[in-house]
Structure 1
Amino acid sequence: MSPQPPLVDSHCHLDFPDFAEELDEVVARARRAGLVRMVTIGTRVRRFDEILAIARRFDDVYCTVGTHPHNAGEEPDVTADQLVAIAEAHPEVVGIGECGLDYFYDNSPREAQVAGFRTHIEAARRTGLPVIVHTRDADEDTWKILESCYAEGPFTGVLHCFSSGRELAMRAVKLGLYVSLSGIVTFKKSEELRAIVADLPADRLLVETDAPYLAPPPYRGKRNEPAYVVHTHEVVAGVKGLSVAESAEQTTRNFFRLFSKVPPPGHLALDAA
């Protein structure tokens, strides 16, 4: 039997209350499922210390710093200088965000979301770290901001938990960004999303859980956790016409290429090309 391919969860929220009572067990289950790295994502800069504490607690967990668009109105004064300083001061910080636009909930004023999005992109450019982009019901504004900011200077990043339209995906990939797939791609109603994934280049795909949200079958409707990324891989592999092992190796290689500040495990030999 061939060895189990190494997996990563490129986007989860281990600081959320859903995991408070059993975080050690959640991480242990992820390891048993074959995960070698997890990135727990910042949603409020003022709560960064909580994120950092988790990344320091587990040697295979890293983190990001940023303000979610839902919270952009709460943190309107976050600056690129502040984000850069935090990222440069802490080796555990491997990305900027999540940030972006959410016009579905509109929990923050749109002008605050746009301003925060641009600030985070500037910090990503200056640090060389990927910007983690949240976008919902805001495709056109998202690509306009990405393209205008890229014209000012290149940066890298990922459209996380992708469930948007084909044009946004293709425009992002054209800029050299990545597209990350969550449990949404496994849902029965997601035929259109799977059709988009089929046409995206394999070297621009990541897989994530967005835990505690969006658990794939057979855990649909329950709390998600990093170990369940295995089930999303099975669907992505089928869509791309790959074996699960081939898909896992490809997306893990993509992860380490994008999140270049994350050191791969010593036993893991992946071609960075």
Structure 2
Amino acid sequence: MSKKRREIPVFDHPIIETHCHLDYLKDRPLEETLEESQRVNIERVITIAVAPDNLAKVRELSNVAPWVYGTQGIHPHEAETYTDAVEEEIRRHAGDEKIVAVGEIGLDYFYDNADREVQRNVFRRQLQLACDADRPVVIHSREADEDTIAILKEFENSLTRRGVIHSFTSGPGLAKYALDQGWCLGFNGITTFNKAENVRDIVRMSPIEQILLETDAPFLTPVPYRGRENAPFYLPFVAENIAKVKDLPLEQVLSQTYLNSLRTFFSEQ
């Protein structure tokens, strides 16, 4: 008989899911996922765009409930699909009421699914778009620390609203640069993985005032539900683990990360 997994904890303080992909979830109906997320006190959910063919879908999903929001942007894996028409679509909708950021944008030299020079060009174009729209950005950076820093430096004075480097797995150099510049770092179920001490080291060095909670669902399901499809309602496990790693009271982590999310994406304190 398999060991019964621990139930998902329900906290009094609400939590904001800052990064998931609702259109990628397959294991259960969307309505059921959202109901379960509300049950565990997920107050808001941000679903993230990654490709030309899901920009409109994310906008549609951002309107399924008052507490669901979205982004518009092209992931570095899809950089070679970025065109003037795609840029115009992102620009046209970046200011929509339920769209809170430009993203997921950035660089990925681990998979190299797109030419690196193309990735850099598309990253710059979308950062400029965020500047023009006065929107924060959601950044993906993998095995590209030096180029990520170099490109972000080009926009230090023009990007008035920073944003987050999500699912942070990079080195301390990028972490320090980002934190010094006022960025947040997003952490998810990776922090619960046995072999992710490097990520936990970054959690320890990051001020709680600059940490955001996310799942990146349907990917990166936290312990004790690894092996299942991830979902926003597993976010309480991430919050618990951040509190453990940083040796902080859980209530402080919940309260501060909530405020961080409001400040970053909703211009609320």
Residue of structure 2 equivalent to 1:214: 220
Instruction: Indicate which of 54, 59, 63 corresponds to 2:66.
Output: 59
Residue of structure 2 equivalent to 1:99: 105
Residue correspondence of structure 1 range 106-117 to structure 2 within 5 A: 106-117=112-123
Residue of structure 1 equivalent to 2:29: 22
Kept in 2, the 8 Å contact 1:9–1:208? The answer is yes
Count matched residues. 260
Kept in 2, the 8 Å contact 1:124–1:156? The answer is no
Aligned amino acid, residue 131 of structure 1: V
| Of 207-216 and 119-128, the range deviating more from structure 2 | 119-128
Instruction: Indicate which of 137, 154, 176 corresponds to 1:170.
Output: 176
Structure 1 residue ranges (4+ consecutive) displaced by more than 4 angstroms after TM superposition? 78-82
Percent of paired sites with the same residue: 37
Kept in 2, the 8 Å contact 1:212–1:223? The answer is yes
Distance in 1, Cα, partners of 2:85 & 2:172: 32
Unaligned runs of 5+ in 2: 1-9
Instruction: Indicate which of 194, 197, 207 corresponds to 2:203.
Output: 197
Q: CA deviation at 1:125?
A: 1.4
Deviations 1:187-244 (A, max 9, x none): 1111121122111111110010000000001111210000001101111011222122
Kept in 2, the 8 Å contact 1:121–1:155? The answer is no
Residue of structure 1 equivalent to 2:167: 161
The question of 1:37 aligning with 2:12 is answered no
SS of match in other structure, 2:106 = strand
SS of match in other structure, 2:61 = helix
Residue of structure 1 equivalent to 2:124: 118
Residue of structure 1 equivalent to 2:55: 48
What TM-score do you get using the length of structure 2 for normalisation? Answer: 0.91
Instruction: Indicate which of 230, 244, 247 corresponds to 1:241.
Output: 247
Residue of structure 2 equivalent to 1:130: 136
Q: CA deviation at 1:113?
A: 1.0
Aligned amino acid, residue 129 of structure 1: R
Unaligned runs of 5+ in 1: 264-271
The question of 1:13 aligning with 2:24 is answered no
The question of 1:182 aligning with 2:194 is answered no
Q: CA deviation at 1:3?
A: 6.5
Deviations 1:149-200 (A, max 9, x none): 2145544121001111011011011111110001111111111211221111
Distance in 2, Cα, partners of 1:78 & 1:244: 45
Kept in 2, the 8 Å contact 1:100–1:113? The answer is yes
Residue of structure 1 equivalent to 2:262: 256
Aligned amino acid, residue 151 of structure 2: I
Distance in 2, Cα, partners of 1:214 & 1:113: 24
Kept in 1, the 8 Å contact 2:134–2:159? The answer is no
Kept in 2, the 8 Å contact 1:125–1:156? The answer is no
Aligned amino acid, residue 210 of structure 1: D
Kept in 1, the 8 Å contact 2:17–2:44? The answer is yes
Distance in 1, Cα, partners of 2:85 & 2:113: 17
User: Is the alpha carbon distance of 1:191 and 1:122 closer, same or farther for their aligned partners in structure 2, counting shifts above 3 Å?
Assistant: same
The question of 1:140 aligning with 2:151 is answered no
What TM-score do you get using the length of structure 1 for normalisation? Answer: 0.90
Deviations 1:85-110 (A, max 9, x none): 2112x211100010100111111111
SS of match in other structure, 2:156 = helix
Kept in 2, the 8 Å contact 1:159–1:177? The answer is yes
Deviations 1:108-142 (A, max 9, x none): 11112111111111122122211100011111111
Q: CA deviation at 1:27?
A: 0.7
Distance in 2, Cα, partners of 1:24 & 1:125: 35
| Of 74-83 and 62-71, the range deviating more from structure 2 | 74-83
SS of match in other structure, 2:107 = strand
